Amino acid sequence: MATVSDGITYAERVVSGEIVAGELVRLSCQRFLNDLEHGPDRGVYFNEDRAQHILDFYDFVPHVKGALAGKPIDLMDWDIFILINLFGFVIPLIDELTGLPVLDEDGDTVMVRRFRTAYNEVARKNAKSTLSSGIGLYMTGADGEGGAEVYSAATTRDQARIVFDDAKNMIKKAPKTLGRLFSHLKLNIHQERTASKFEPLSSDANNLDGLNIHCGIVDELHAHRTRDVWDVLETATGARLQSLLFAITTAGSNKEGICFEQRDYAIKILRGIVEDDTYFAVIYTLDEGDDHFDEANWPKANPGLGICKRWDDMRRLAKKAKEQIAARPNFLTKHLNIWVTAESSWMDMDKWDKCPETASDEELKNWPMWAGIDLSNKIDICAAVKEWLDPAGHTHIKAKFWIPEGRLETAPKHIAELYRKWADAGYLELTDGEVIDHGYIKAEVMAWIAGDNLQELGFDPWSATQFSLALAEEGIPVVEVPQTVKNLSEAMKSTEADIYGKKFHHDKNPVMTWMMSNVTVKPDKNDNIFPNKSTPENKIDGPSALFTARSRQLVNGGSTPDMSGFFADPIIIGV
C-alpha cells in the first residue's frame, strides 16, 4: 500500500543524491520539501489525509495491459510524489468580494487544492498515461465534486482515447470496486450519483466552447501545433474552485508551440525566476553535458526504468541510435526526453542572480554611460538600458520597461499575470491604450538620462528611425546599431564574460531577470552568436537594449589616446 511517507522519502532521496535524477527533478523535490516546512508562512498547507485519499483510491485501480493486467497498480515512488503534490497541498478559499477566507457552517476555513495546473514531462513507456487515467477517474467520482466534467484531450480523438480507454478498461477489470462507482459507454464514463462524466475530446477547439471543466488531461502536449486547445481548456476551468489542468508529454521539436512555452514557464518556476504557487512541474530529462549513451544517466529521463520500462529495450534503442544517425532524434526525444532542435539557453541564471547590485546614483553620475533602446513594435514591450563603466572596468546597468495596458488582455494568462505583478511593484510601466506612444517614451527616456554622463544612445534603425530623429533634435548623441550578428555577437560575449568574471552589476529588476532567462543562442560555424527567444511570448527586449548599448561601449568605450606630440616627432623614412 502506497503511503504519503513514500512520496516524502522519494523527494528526500532525490535531493540527497541517493536516487539518480536530473537538476529539474531535484528542484521539484526541493520545492516540495521547502513547502512542507515553509509553506504555511504564505498560506500553503499540506493535508496528509487528502494526499493519502488519492493514494488509497489507486488500491482499487488495476493494470490494464501486459502480464499484470487485472492486478492492482503498485504505484512507483515518483507516481506517489506527483500525486501527493497535486492532491495534498491546500490553500484557504478567498471570497473575491471581501478578500477574506470563506468559512464553513462550523466556522472553519474552507480549504481548496493549491495546484490548478500541472506539467509532467517524462520519456515514453514510463506509464504516465496509466497515472493520468487514474487521476481522471478519481476526479470524476471520488473527489466530492458535483457534476464533475473530466476530459482527456489530444490532437486527435484516437490520441485522446488512450487515457480515456485505459480508464474505461480499469472499470471493466475491477467490476466489484470501480464498477460500483462508474458506468460506461463507448465514449463516456459517468457516475449517476453525482451527475459526473469523463469523456475524450479531439483537438477541434471550436467544439470545446461551453465546457465547465473540473479536470482536463492533455496528452502528448508537444504534438499540439497551436495553443487553441490549451487556451480553451484553461478558460473552461475558471468556474470550478479546485479544477486541474494536467499536461502529460514527452519532449518534442516544436519550440514555438504551447508545450515548449509551458515547459519554459515550468522551468522558471522550478528555478525561482517566477513565483506561481498554483503551478506544479516535474521534468524528467538529462542534464546539459550528460553522455546520451551512458546507461547511468538514463534513469534521469526514465524513473520507471527497470519497473515498467525494460533495460534491454533501452540498450537496443541506444545501440541503433548510436550507429544510425537518422534514428538518433527519436531516441533523444522519446527515450531521453530531450528537445532536439531547441536552441540552448544563453545565460547561467545562477551567475546572473549572484551579480552585485548597481552602484549608487551619486557614483554613477561621474562615470561614462551608454544607453540602448529597443522599441520593439507599438503593441509590445519597449525597453531601455543604461550601462556605466566604472574606473575598475566593471559594468553597471539599470533597465526600464513600458507596455500598453491593452496588451495584457491578449497576452497568455500566465504572462499577463507576470506583467501585472511587475507593474504593481513598479518594475514595468503600463501606458494607456492599445499601442505605445513613441512621443511619450521619448519624454520618459529624456527624463531618465538627464544628469547622466551620456556618451551615446544606440538604437535599432528598423523600428526607431523617427524616434531617434526626435531625440537627435534634442541634442542626444544617437547612433544606429542594426541588430546583426556583427554588432551583437561580441556585445553578448563581452557581457557574458563580465557576468562570469563578477564584473557585472545590475539593479535586480525582475523583468530584466526574466528576459535574460529567455535568451537562447545557436552558435554558427564561426562561433558567432545572436540573441533569440525560446518562445514568442518570452520577450528579450531588455537584453537586446543591453547588447545595443554594449555594442557602442565596445566601439568607443576605451580611453582616448593622447595624440599630443605625435606629429612633433615623426618617423623619417631612410633615417
Grade residue 204 by pLDDT with cuts at 50, 70 and 90. low
To 10 degrees, the CA torsion angle through 8, 137, 198, 218? 30
> Which residue bears the cell 503600463?
430
From the list 495, 500, 513, the residue with the least C-alpha distance to 353 is: 513
Residues 154/160, Cβ–Cβ less than 8 Å: yes
H/E stretch holding 318 reads helix 311-323
- Predicted TM-score (pTM) of the model is 0.79
Mean pLDDT of 345-373: 93
pLDDT for residue 570? 44
**Cβ contacts of residue 448 below 8 Å, gap of 6+?**
384, 386, 400
**What cell numbers appear for 374 in the block?**
529597443
Mean pLDDT of 16-34: 98
Per-residue pLDDT tens over the stretch 263-321 = 999 999 999 999 999 999 999 999 999 999 999 999 999 999 999 999 999 999 999 98
Integer Rg of the chain from CA: 28
Residue 572 has pLDDT above 60, yes or no: no
pLDDT for residue 69? 78
Mean pLDDT of 167-192: 93
H/E stretch holding 129 reads helix 128-141
Cα–Cα distance measured from residue 230 to residue 224, given in angstroms and rounded to the nearest whole number: 9
pLDDT for residue 412? 84
**Cβ contacts of residue 15 below 8 Å, gap of 6+?**
26, 29, 30, 33
Range(s) of the chain covered by CATH 3.30.420.240: 349-556
Maximum CA extent, the chain: 109
Residues 448/400, Cβ–Cβ less than 8 Å: yes
Q: Which residue pairs from 98-102 have beta carbons closer than 8 angstroms and sit at least 24 positions apart in sequence?
A: none
Higher pLDDT, 38 or 210: 38
Mean pLDDT of 342-347: 76
Share of the chain above pLDDT 90, in %: 69
pLDDT for residue 335? 96
Residue 265 three-state SS: helix
Report which residue type is found at 63. H
Instruction: Report the chain's terminal Cα–Cα distance, integer Å.
Output: 97
From the list 509, 370, 477, 380, the residue with the least C-alpha distance to 438 is: 380
CATH fold of the domain at 349-556: Nucleotidyltransferase; domain 5 (3.30.420)
Residue 565 has pLDDT above 80, yes or no: no
Range(s) of the chain covered by CATH 3.40.50.300: 4-335
Cα–Cα distance measured from residue 27 to residue 230, given in angstroms and rounded to the nearest whole number: 25
To 10 degrees, the CA torsion angle through 438, 439, 444, 447? 140
Neighbouring CB atoms inside 10 A of 153's CB total 29
Strand 117-121 to 244-249 pairing: parallel
Cα–Cα distance measured from residue 227 to residue 467, given in angstroms and rounded to the nearest whole number: 35
**What cell numbers appear for 517 in the block?**
532567462
**Cβ contacts of residue 137 below 8 Å, gap of 6+?**
57, 61, 167, 170, 171, 178, 182, 189, 198
Rounded to the nearest integer, the mean pLDDT of the chain is 90
Cα–Cα distance measured from residue 245 to residue 233, given in angstroms and rounded to the nearest whole number: 8
To 10 degrees, the CA torsion angle through 192, 198, 203, 204? 0
Mean pLDDT of 80-100: 95
Query: In the CATH scheme, what architecture does the domain 4-335 have?
Result: 3-Layer(aba) Sandwich (3.40)
Helices (H), 285-434: 311-323, 328-330, 349-353, 361-364, 413-424
Cα–Cα distance measured from residue 395 to residue 547, given in angstroms and rounded to the nearest whole number: 12
pLDDT for residue 203? 67
**What cell numbers appear for 142 in the block?**
471520488
Strand 215-219 to 244-249 pairing: parallel
pLDDT for residue 157? 78
Strand order in the sheet with 532-533: 344-345, 519-521, 532-533
Per-residue pLDDT tens over the stretch 211-265 = 899 999 999 999 888 888 898 899 899 889 999 999 999 999 888 889 999 999 9
According to DSSP, the residues that pair with 249 across neighbouring strands are 121
Task: Report phi then psi at 354, rounded to 5.
Answer: -90, 0
